[in-house]
Amino acid sequence: NAETSSLKQSSEYVNNDLKNMHKEINSLFTTSKPELKEISEYYFDGSGKSIRPLIICSMARALNVHHHLSLNPNEPIEYNKVLLDSQKKIALIAEMIHVASLIHDDIVDASNLRRGKPSVNSKWGSHKAVLAGDYILAISSKCLAQLGNTRVVETLSTVLEDLVKGELMQFGTKENENERFEHYSVKTYRKTASLIANSCKAVAILLVEKNGESTKLSAKNEELVQQAFECGKNIGIAFQLIDDVLDFTSHSDKLGKPGAGADLRLGLATAPVLFAASKYPELNAMIMRRFANDGDVLKAFNFVIKSDGIKETRFLAKKYCENACTILNKLKPTTSSNNANAAQATPSDVRRYPHDAP
């Protein structure tokens, strides 16, 4: 039907947006140090899912079409020109921040498998891994500054702050069982959802602010920025909840990283465990000692499996997805009649959206 073909067409545009993403990222690593270049490029090889760039480009396109239709309801849309160069840069920057944080995370977690291959720390050692992560972050910061929009710089800098705070929060839990879920939720936002939420916010800011001019946003525009943020936040939390489920239900050969209880082995009590603890209170003491006693990991794993923890976590993730859909449904739809004017997108066709013209 029309909706399905419109959806298919939209996903083709986003696929095109992302076609050369890794090449473009790798071209930013202009260092003359061959090993630093090799490590920096290591994960930008198509081995990742690129889920963040996909969400960010999709969000940017949805916002741009909505904005265009709000301003010029009768003017046809050239879909191949909808995505702004600056918005696409946000997708690249977000992927770079993500990869830098994974390189550091694998050092913290002493993990030797990532994206189906040896992790950077296991291949080159932790010292070089720290520095390569820093380098990728430095290049992403330069790229961000080049967009020339202070609010966007601040928005994505907040992500870096959140990532560090979220990672640190993971080392602690709350004595009080009622506070534990709140602690986990804040941690989940900071560690995972903040990057997606703030990147969605950044593409919205780039749409409604003209080329970084610090204009005071109109109420409608500011609402759109907040909607983008909230939608990204809900998607991000749902994503992490399912990631936490997969740690119980999937194996490393499928995940491309350690699975089947890896979080428990790191001492982490994620949503499935917290839900399971209401049925099996024996889990509370294990949570507090971070599953450190002999046999704790296996016992906790089995409690989770025989509880409703997995089911409840999936249910919660679905709720967050529904919240995201509710927000998205407030945007004007990309209808098939709008799509009738669409030309096939080619990567070189990614140009400025008319309202962002200098």
Helix, strand, coil % in the chain, rounded to nearest 5: 70, 0, 30
For residue 266 the two structure tokens come to 């790191």
Closest by Cα among 98, 91, 99 to 203 = 91
Give the nearest distance from C-beta 101 to ligand FPP in angstroms.
Answer: 4
Q: Which residue type does 305 have?
A: I
Smaller CB separation from ligand FPP, 137 or 186 = 137
Backbone φ and ψ for 84, nearest 5 degrees, come out as: -75, 145
Closest by Cα among 225, 282, 29, 37 to 142 = 29
Interface residue with ligand FPP, options 48, 53, 133, 309 (CB under 6 A): 133
Q: What is the x/- site pattern for ligand FPP, positions 223-262, by CB under 6 A?
A: ----------------------------------x-----
Q: Which residue type does 108 have?
A: V
Give the burial class of 49: count Cβ atoms within 10 A of its Cβ; 0-12 exposed, 13-18 middle, 19 or more buried: exposed
Rule CB under 6 A: say whether 191 interacts with ligand FPP: yes
For residue 113 the two structure tokens come to 């498998």
Smaller CB separation from ligand FPP, 61 or 191 = 191
Measure Cα distances from 42 to 73, 87, 108, 129, 345 in Å: 45, 24, 19, 11, 29
Interface residue with Mg ion, options 58, 64, 68, 105 (CB under 5 A): 105
d(CA 332, CA 320): 21
Rule CB under 6 A: say whether 160 interacts with ligand FPP: yes
Give the nearest distance from C-beta 268 to Mg ion in angstroms.
Answer: 8
Interface residue with ligand FPP, options 192, 199, 334, 339 (CB under 6 A): 192
Residue count, binding to ligand FPP (CB under 6 A): 17
Kindly indicate which of the ranges 94-102, 144-152, 204-212, 300-308 contains the residues binding ligand FPP, using the contact rule CB under 6 A.
Answer: 94-102
Q: Is 209 left (phi over 0), alpha (psi -120 to 50) or beta?
A: beta
Smaller CB separation from Mg ion, 7 or 108 = 108
Rule CB under 6 A: say whether 105 interacts with ligand FPP: yes
Stretch 294-313 residues interacting with Mg ion (CB under 5 A): none
Q: Which residues pair with 118 in a beta bridge?
A: 113
d(CA 39, CA 42): 5
Residue count, binding to Mg ion (CB under 5 A): 2
Rule CB under 6 A: say whether 167 interacts with ligand FPP: yes
Rule CB under 6 A: say whether 101 interacts with ligand FPP: yes
Interface residues with ligand FPP (CB under 6 A) are 97, 100-101, 104-105, 108-109, 111, 133, 137, 160, 163-164, 167, 191-192, 257
- Give contact residues for Mg ion (rule: CB under 5 A): 105, 109
